[in-house]
Structure 1
Amino acid sequence: MAKLIYTAIASLDGYVEDADGGFVWAAPDDEVLAYVNDLERPVGTYLYGRRMYQTMAIWESVTDDEQAAVTSDFARIWRAAEKIVYSRSLAEPATSRTRIVGEFDPFEVRRLKESATADLSIGGAQLAGQALAAGLVDELRLFLGPVIVGGGKPALPGGVHTRLELLGERPFRGGVTYLRYRVNYTPEADR
């Protein structure tokens, strides 16, 4: 069975967007992006909400001659993967290898995990929160930036109780710290 992995770049205080919806402070430097590329290379399918998909769709048009090698590498990785976008407002995808699905269905995602030959990545804090609440996320990969934004959109959902097992960590020269956790869902009685 494939793993469902939630990867997020967040502020040290746990936000993927600041109170104004900004996330410029989260842009990875070349060292972090090269590491992200190696993590994303084996992903076969990305699951996105509408807003995250629209943010990521820029990678469809990035060309090698416009960008640094590490950036072009990410664009190639992203374009090679399948994308499923959960949206009630999008009628047509703006990128190749993409299909639009109206509603997030935990049972369908579980079936997708069971049938997939490569791992799946879920992007967007709200969608990932739904998947965490449904017990679907197998691994969290958090890149914590050296910034405190004081509020905004949290990287992790409220109301979800689960234990995490640290699988790895790595500091980067620019101050970002990578944390990798296995998600160990526990019954409510374990609280």
Structure 2
Amino acid sequence: MLPVVYSMSVSLDGFIAGPGGDIGWTAPDAEQMRFHLEQTRDVAAHLCGRRLYQEMLVWETAEQTMSDEADLEFARIWRPIPKVVFSRTLNSVAGNARLATQDIGTEVRRLRDRLGGGVVAIGGAGLAAAAISEDLIDEYHQFVRPVILGSGTPYFPPLDKPLDLRLIESRTVSSQVVYLRYQRVR
């Protein structure tokens, strides 16, 4: 069964976006970008909410707007990945994306049945919160950055009960970021 992974940059105090949705502090350096490239190669499908989908649209036209080779390589990897967008306001999506027609649990089961290998990635706090509430996430990946935001969008939603996790990987990526990979203990 394909693992479902929730992966985001996170501040030291647990936020994925600062006040007003600021994510400027999450921009990867060259070493982090190489790490992201390798991880993205394993993504068989990506589920996201409207805001993250719209942020990621920049990769659809990267050749016209970017010149950095790592950015262009990411775009070449990213574009073919099937994306499922959860939105109450969008009527259409571009690229290799489709609007979700079912709830997150049904969409995850559909992808697991259809896809052969890789991981199903979930991006965005709102969608991740829905997946966490249904206990759909198998792995949590955090890129912990050395910044304290004080408030913003938390990586984890409020929980009714604890989630038992096991640390299965940790490493320093460049000199600033600690990558933590946790597996759900069921």
TM-score, with length taken from structure 1:
0.90
Separation (CA, whole Å) in 2 of partners of 1:104 and 1:50: 15
Verify the 8 A CA contact 1:171 1:177 in the aligned structure 2: yes
Q: Distance in 2 between matches of 1:2 and 1:103?
A: 19
SS of structure 2 residue aligned to 1:117: coil
Deviation of 1:111 after TM superposition, in Å, equals 3.3
* Partner residue in 2 for 1:180: 181
Superposed CA offset, 1:124-173 (max 9, x none): 01101111111111111110111111110001111152111111111123
Instruction: Tell me if the contact between 2:45 and 2:111 (Cα under 8 Å) persists in the aligned partners.
Output: no
* Secondary structure of 1:44's aligned partner: strand
SS of equivalent residue, structure 1 residue 20: helix
Quick check: 1:134 aligned with 2:131? no
* Uncovered stretches (5+) of structure 2, i.e. residues with no partner: none
How many angstroms apart in 1 are the aligned matches of 2:98 and 2:43?
17
How far apart, CA to CA, are the structure 2 residues paired with 1:70 and 1:115?
30
Cα 1:25/1:105, change in 2 over 3 Å: closer
Q: Which residue pairs with 1:8 in the alignment?
A: 8
Report % sequence identity: 36
Q: Which amino acid aligns with 1:26?
A: T
Q: 1:111 matched to which residue of 2?
A: 110
- For residues 49 and 141 of structure 2, what CA distance do their matches in structure 1 show? 18
CA distance in 2, matches of 1:148, 1:184: 29
The offset of 1:74, in angstroms, is 1.2
Partner of 1:74 in structure 2?
Answer: 74
1: CA distance between counterparts of 2:65 and 2:50? Answer: 29
2:51 equivalent in structure 1 = 51
Task: Provide the C-alpha distance between the structure 1 equivalents of 2:103 and 2:149, rounded to a whole number of angstroms.
Answer: 29
The 3 A distance-change label for structure 1 pair 54 and 163 is: same
2:153: which partner in 1?
153
Task: Give unmatched runs, 5+ long, in structure 1.
Answer: 186-191
Cα displacement (A) at 1:70? 1.5
Q: Which residue is 2:171 aligned to? A: 170
SS at match of 2:48: strand
